[in-house]
Amino acid sequence: MLLIGGGQEFGRRGGTENTPYIVGLGKAAEMAEANLTRNASHMESLRNRLLKNLQLKLGETNVRANGPKDPNQRLPNTLSVGLDRVRSSDLLSSVGHVVAASAGAACHSTGGSISSVLVAMKVPESFARGTLRLSVGPGTTTEDIDEASEILARAARKQWEEGTDTGKLTI
């Protein structure tokens, strides 16, 4: 016997299946599949726009996309980007109430060090400390991207002006 049920079932059934949730999950999967190509294309376009906006606002040499050089090899909905001489944790403290983002790499818990993933990817330290993970979704608009990139760029420029990067800070 793989499952042991409750006393009300005399130990024969492990539980009652949540049929509405199972049907709902099936419908959600069906909808996702039907819109997969269109959504992926939309999100990839927005991800590329976000990167380009940041490069235009902060200077191409100050913004580095982490990951494969070929944008077609990256996830369509996610941008891992390093901002030179920026401390991402401080940046997120100042804009986190208006822009949803994360610092460092997804598999990294912020413990005061640079993510081993970013180190393995050979991301230069000054960019690794300023790495942000930004995601877009099917409902994200170009206006959302333009506003978010302006907010992020403004916060990065403020750090540069204040000189909060000491060259030794880590995320």
Helix axes 36-58, 19-34, angle to 10 degrees: 70
Please, are residues 48 and 71 in contact by the beta-carbon 8 Å criterion? Answer: yes
**Lookup: tokens for 109:** 């818990």
Asked about 107 being catalytic, the answer comes back as: yes
**Lookup: tokens for 168:** 């030794």
Please, are residues 134 and 101 in contact by the beta-carbon 8 Å criterion? Answer: yes
Q: Which of 73, 107, 111, 112 is an active site residue?
A: 107
Residue 107's Cβ-count burial label (10 Å; 0-12, 13-18, 19+) is exposed
C-alpha–C-alpha distance, residues 103 and 146, integer Å: 20
- Positions marked active-site: 107
